[in-house]
Structure 1
Amino acid sequence: MIAIEKKIKNRILILILMILLTTGIVIISYENYLIKNHIEHDISTKNKNINKTFNLFIDELDKDIAERTNFMLSYNTRLALKNRDRKALYKNAKEHFKRMRNNKYLKIMTFRLTDGSAFLRVHKPKMFGDSLNKKRRIILDTILSQKRQFGFEVGKLKMTHRIVTPIFYDNKLIGVVEIGVEPEYIIEKINNIFNIESSLFVKNEQLEFTLHKIEDNYKYKVNDFIFVRGSKLIKDNLQKIDFDKKISKIEYKGKNYYIDTIKLFDHKGKTAAKMLISYDLTAFKKEFDEMLEKNLMITFLVIIILFVVLNMGLNYFLKKIDSLYLNILKKDKMMLHQSKLASMGEMIGNIAHQWRQPLSVISTSASGIRVQNELGVLNDETLHNSVNGIVNSTKYLSQTIDDFMDFVKNDKSAVEFDIKENIEKNIEILKGSLKIHQINLVLNCQKEFIKGYPNELTQVFINIVHNAKDALKEQNVKEKYIFIETNKTDKDVEIIIKDNANGIPNHIINKVFDPYFTTKNESNGTGLGLYMSYRIITESMKGNIKVENVEYNFNEKTYIGAMFIISLPFSCQN
């Protein structure tokens, strides 16, 4: 056992080590995923906050400009525009524009007539009278819809966020006022809050009509967008940035950067420009590497500790198993011995029934010879017949003894034997007991050879038939039957034993093969017969045994009983 235990221990330790290493790898991978997910969540949250802040600033800007514009459009201002009085209009609007210029990025205030032509540029009062370019859709749509419009658009100067407000006099549209704020107003605030860099890309079609083309910048064109102004980082890495994706990652001068895209929409909700924001991921990467290194050390330290503890526990466990194995082996031998004794007792009882008739023949023949001899009437023929009867009876008794000795032998060598012959030999021993209890035996067996242990099969056979006999006695059935038949399949031989004792109660039928389970009182049953039968069939004979309740017809009558099905392979050594 010691060599086997060492072999088992080594295999278990290797298996445990593999499991621990695999578990460690899985844990590290999962922790890696969690850390990465945590960092990406932080980055995603930062991106969302940037976008949210950008939109919030846009909304606040639109609201502030709208309020200031409404205040500016007093009666006198509107009257001056109606009367085409440029001087009076400039006088009324100049102070308001000056106050609005507290925002250094508010560069444009233009009053336009209903045909779109520039009537007064407050930021450049000497520049007026030019007609509206047809691509200035925000002006045209404000005039057409007579509703205030917000959005990014390129004018004669550059890309700005435009707030265009219709102007009415006596409920009649007389023109519009256009106020433009450069996107740097918002970009600068976001850069300061989130410590990022940004660059502005304008859609090419927006620049086609502007006077502010920067020819040199056209070489920094990506898809339909042209780099206008912004950080050198993005300008130098345009080929690495996928404009079709909202988010990109690039490496620049030994550092990792995260690139996010904020779309700048025109008044129709279409993309007029894109603002690319970038921030350094070095701190995030450092945090990730430190956490990963820490988790690696902790995980492998835990694996080593677990391995040592499990090794100690395994040594203790194997000692316990060894002790338990010896106890089980001792108990198993005792159970086998008890079962064998019970079967021997049953067989001896059956032998006693079998011996009654031959002993009676011997006794009668001997008494007859003596009486006839005393009376002087004994002749040779009578003597010969009586002696032959005695000899035949003793031969039968001797054969019975041989059968019993075969059963008692503890021979574990597998031999080839005939199933039918084995069953018939067992019936010879049992038929006396069955006859006394008026039990009819119906056989339908074929010669089928298998390789196994005939003596152990005898024990199984006696146990099942003995239980059937007891069940028939308890049920007080008038016509008592035990049926035994054999069937051959491609894989095995089946022995079917059934009775008509009304079956086994459903609540206990699944327990009949359990050790020490019996429905008889302690004086009549040990609960080991069917348990040992199950072990003999499944372990020694490498077969299978099951029991079920069946309803069947025999001699035009319907019966119910328990049916045992024993399946045996052609060789128990395969």
Structure 2
Amino acid sequence: MLRKSEKRLLQLIKYAPIIFIISLSLLITYILLLNNQAYYKKEIRKIETSFTHQKKEEIKLEVEKFYQYIIYQKNKSEDKLKHELKERVNEAYNIAHNIYLENKDKDKKIILKMIKDALRNIRFNEGRGYYFIHDIKGNNLLYPLNQNLENKNYINLKDKKEYFFVKKIVETIKNKTESFDTYYWSKPSKEENRVHKKVSFYKYFPVLNISIGTGEYLNDFENSIKRDILKYINKINKINDKYLFIVDYKKNILGHKALEKINKKSEILNDDIIVKIINIAKNKKEGFLTYSESFITDKKREKTSFIKNIPKWHWAIGMGFYKDKLEIIIKQKKKEANKIKKQYIINILLISITITLVLLLISCYISNQIKKKFIKYKEIIYKEIDKNKQKDNLLTQQSKMATMGEMIGNITHQWRQPLSLISTAASSIKIQKEFGILNDKDLNDDLKMITDATIHLSKTIDDFKNFFKPNKNKSYFTTTYILEKSINLISAQFKFKNIEIIKQIENIELFQLENELIQVLINILNNAKDQLTIKDIEHKIIFIKTYKKDEQLIISIKDNAGGINKEIIDKIFDAYFTTKETENGTGIGLYMSKEIISRHMRGELIVKNSNFEIKQKKYYGANFIIKLPLY
């Protein structure tokens, strides 16, 4: 039988699409007829907006690609420089090695002079690069730029940042290796800022116990990269309709399609436009600029360009598009509009009616199919719900029985000592009575012992009775209270097994399900007890810690039983999964604990293996972590 709500849902599925389709068709037809004339104006505006947006996106994307290319080249400049320096030194090393092989029988001083003479006049990197040689004492043996500085000791020479870079060379020789170095040195020029970053590479030459090295100022190398980039961009501009232009902060045009055709740069871009380009690059980092340009024809053409800044090189790069291409597209669109205007209304009506009828038929068919599927799936869902309820009830019952079995064991241990005291006291009274030595004081002491033991037994029953109360209502309690209550219920077995429980409790108030949390804590503690019992451990420990984090209560329970096997740690919360013997474990305790924490208490229960330290002793074992909202 279908419920009323289900019948209403099926009626809604059946009739709502029909009503919606008819209403929508009528509304669309009415709007289209009323806005026939306005439609084309909107189309033209849409084309203009779309064209502008599309072109802006295109040039922005192109500029971004070139920007990323430039930044990549800039960022890789130091790596490229290092690679080139290493190759150059390896070349010098090979030259020196060949000289040595050809002159093995000669004195090493003569071989060193031959190597110096061979390397002295070698230049590279547009004449900036040269080789230098040092020995293990820091003496400069080769310095082609100034021979007067050769054969002098520079071990204590330092750069502008107090760095002793010659010591790095000596260290390379001592270690018989090769190394890169970076320091800051002044150029032999009249620049205002003469100190620049320099990268060097040294390679140990074992035959003479010296190092061969070379270096290059990073900004000089970057300048060569700049020139390569500009050559590449100007080459691309020659074969591409969309071209990239580059200006620097000094208003120099570094790259432009017309750079080789027009001698006067002011005819390409006037100063006002260049200033605007530079201002966008400096102040906004990137942006669009619209201006008039006429370097190809005498006619002024409106152009929109995207500008982007390259701050460390003081460059502004950009690319643009002309608006006159848009006018051609709009004219073509108007011609097409006039051709179809006469048939527009008739076509709209015919299409609208046809689509409406087709959609109505499809809607009716789909509605009937949905109804059948709905009824079928409803039956399947109800069956699955019943199965899940039966399964949950069975698991809950098994969990209760397992917990009850554990509790009966705990009651046995809790009662053993009081019952022993009662038996001892009663026997004492009987013996003293038989021998006639029973006095009032001994009688009162024994009776008091029996009374105290009886009270303890009664209290134990009350504690276990409260635990089994089916209380599903939340209440306020503290972490100290809940842990003491949980431990009291099972403490006898833990003492019997010689298991020490160490607590580090931050007393925190929370509003939760008391008995359900006690059940979870007892399950986890019993699980730790079982693992500690089967392991041959001299000092068995369970460490409990509570604290608050991000408005959550965290309860951490660790043992030193050696941890959980990695192959099964992800399965221990599965129903019926257990590592114990069949008669000792049901495999539902931890499963129910996970269900209680996640479903009933909106929290989280996880497990992992961890190390911990107590009284300067290190332990390793399982760590169960309970995370609960405080309210």
Q: Is the 8 A contact 2:556 2:625 kept in 1?
A: yes
- Which of 303, 311, 314 is equivalent to 2:374? 314
Taking structure 1 as reference, are residues 21 and 379 closer, same or farther at Cα in structure 2, changes over 3 Å only?
farther
Taking structure 1 as reference, are residues 439 and 314 closer, same or farther at Cα in structure 2, changes over 3 Å only?
same
Matched AA of 1:352: T
Matched AA of 1:247: Q
Q: CA deviation at 1:250?
A: 4.0
Matched AA of 2:586: T
- Which of 431, 434, 439 is equivalent to 2:494? 434
Partner Cα separation in structure 1 for residue 568 and residue 7 of structure 2: 40
Match for residue 478 of structure 1? 538
Once the two structures are superposed, residues 473-519 of structure 1 have per-residue CA deviations (whole angstroms, 9 ceiling, x without a partner) of 23332321111122134513222111111222223222222222222
Match for residue 485 of structure 2? 425
- Which of 367, 376, 383 is equivalent to 2:436? 376
Taking structure 1 as reference, are residues 522 and 379 closer, same or farther at Cα in structure 2, changes over 3 Å only?
same
Q: CA deviation at 1:285?
A: 9.9
Match for residue 462 of structure 1? 522
Q: CA deviation at 1:288?
A: 9.0
Correspondence 1:533 to 2:618: no
Pairs within 5 Å for 1:279-358 = 294=354, 296-358=356-418
Match for residue 408 of structure 1? 468
Q: CA deviation at 1:382?
A: 1.2
Match for residue 570 of structure 1? 630
SS at match of 1:510: coil
Q: Is the 8 A contact 1:550 1:561 kept in 2?
A: yes
Partner Cα separation in structure 2 for residue 544 and residue 17 of structure 1: 45
Partner Cα separation in structure 2 for residue 23 and residue 484 of structure 1: 65
Once the two structures are superposed, residues 101-135 of structure 1 have per-residue CA deviations (whole angstroms, 9 ceiling, x without a partner) of xxxxxxxxxxxxxxxxxxxxxxxxxxxxxxxxxxx
Match for residue 50 of structure 2? none
Partner Cα separation in structure 1 for residue 512 and residue 625 of structure 2: 17
Pairs within 5 Å for 1:506-525 = 506-525=566-585
Match for residue 551 of structure 1? 611
Correspondence 1:248 to 2:333: yes
Q: Is the 8 A contact 2:21 2:360 kept in 1?
A: no
Match for residue 391 of structure 1? 451
Partner Cα separation in structure 2 for residue 17 and residue 478 of structure 1: 76
Matched AA of 2:559: D
Correspondence 1:498 to 2:583: no
Match for residue 160 of structure 1? none
Partner Cα separation in structure 1 for residue 573 and residue 17 of structure 2: 37
Q: CA deviation at 1:304?
A: 2.2
Once the two structures are superposed, residues 32-51 of structure 1 have per-residue CA deviations (whole angstroms, 9 ceiling, x without a partner) of xxxxxxxxxxxxxxxxxxxx
Partner Cα separation in structure 2 for residue 439 and residue 291 of structure 1: 84
Matched AA of 2:405: G
Matched AA of 2:585: G
Which is higher, the Rg of structure 1 or of structure 2? 1
Matched AA of 1:383: L
Q: Is the 8 A contact 2:13 2:367 kept in 1?
A: no
Once the two structures are superposed, residues 294-349 of structure 1 have per-residue CA deviations (whole angstroms, 9 ceiling, x without a partner) of 55533442232112211222123223323332332232122111101101111111
Taking structure 1 as reference, are residues 343 and 316 closer, same or farther at Cα in structure 2, changes over 3 Å only?
same
Once the two structures are superposed, residues 43-78 of structure 1 have per-residue CA deviations (whole angstroms, 9 ceiling, x without a partner) of xxxxxxxxxxxxxxxxxxxxxxxxxxxxxxxxxxxx
Q: Is the 8 A contact 1:9 1:314 kept in 2?
A: no
Match for residue 237 of structure 1? none
Once the two structures are superposed, residues 64-105 of structure 1 have per-residue CA deviations (whole angstroms, 9 ceiling, x without a partner) of xxxxxxxxxxxxxxxxxxxxxxxxxxxxxxxxxxxxxxxxxx
Pairs within 5 Å for 1:255-266 = none
TM-score, normalised via structure 2 length: 0.47
Q: Which runs of 5+ in 2 are unaligned?
A: 29-325
Q: Is the 8 A contact 1:13 1:311 kept in 2?
A: no
Q: CA deviation at 1:398?
A: 0.9
Matched AA of 1:504: I
Q: Is the 8 A contact 2:557 2:624 kept in 1?
A: yes
Match for residue 233 of structure 1? none
Partner Cα separation in structure 1 for residue 527 and residue 15 of structure 2: 52
Q: CA deviation at 1:21?
A: 10
Match for residue 451 of structure 1? 511
CA RMSD of aligned residues (A): 3.5
Q: CA deviation at 1:281?
A: 8.9
Q: Is the 8 A contact 2:575 2:591 kept in 1?
A: yes
Q: Is the 8 A contact 2:14 2:364 kept in 1?
A: no
Q: Is the 8 A contact 2:21 2:359 kept in 1?
A: no
Q: Is the 8 A contact 1:501 1:560 kept in 2?
A: yes
Correspondence 1:487 to 2:547: yes
Partner Cα separation in structure 1 for residue 13 and residue 523 of structure 2: 44
- Which of 364, 367, 386 is equivalent to 2:424? 364
Taking structure 1 as reference, are residues 310 and 440 closer, same or farther at Cα in structure 2, changes over 3 Å only?
same
Q: Is the 8 A contact 2:607 2:623 kept in 1?
A: yes
Partner Cα separation in structure 1 for residue 408 and residue 565 of structure 2: 30
Partner Cα separation in structure 2 for residue 16 and residue 281 of structure 1: 38
Partner Cα separation in structure 1 for residue 7 and residue 460 of structure 2: 51
Q: Is the 8 A contact 2:21 2:356 kept in 1?
A: no
TM-score, normalised via structure 1 length: 0.52
Matched AA of 1:482: I
Q: Is the 8 A contact 1:472 1:480 kept in 2?
A: yes
Q: Which runs of 5+ in 1 are unaligned?
A: 30-240, 259-279
Partner Cα separation in structure 2 for residue 322 and residue 359 of structure 1: 53
Q: CA deviation at 1:432?
A: 1.5
Partner Cα separation in structure 2 for residue 402 and residue 308 of structure 1: 62
Q: Is the 8 A contact 1:21 1:303 kept in 2?
A: no
Q: CA deviation at 1:14?
A: 5.6
Matched AA of 2:496: I
Q: CA deviation at 1:6?
A: 5.0
Partner Cα separation in structure 2 for residue 547 and residue 8 of structure 1: 44
Partner Cα separation in structure 2 for residue 379 and residue 517 of structure 1: 61
Taking structure 1 as reference, are residues 310 and 367 closer, same or farther at Cα in structure 2, changes over 3 Å only?
same
Match for residue 166 of structure 1? none
Matched AA of 1:298: V
Matched AA of 2:606: K
Partner Cα separation in structure 1 for residue 329 and residue 380 of structure 2: 67
- Aligned identity (percent) is 37
Which segment is superposed worse, 395-404 or 554-563?
Answer: 554-563
Q: Is the 8 A contact 2:486 2:522 kept in 1?
A: yes
Taking structure 1 as reference, are residues 432 and 570 closer, same or farther at Cα in structure 2, changes over 3 Å only?
same
Match for residue 154 of structure 1? none
Taking structure 1 as reference, are residues 522 and 384 closer, same or farther at Cα in structure 2, changes over 3 Å only?
same
Taking structure 1 as reference, are residues 359 and 553 closer, same or farther at Cα in structure 2, changes over 3 Å only?
same
Q: Is the 8 A contact 2:564 2:622 kept in 1?
A: yes
Taking structure 1 as reference, are residues 449 and 283 closer, same or farther at Cα in structure 2, changes over 3 Å only?
closer
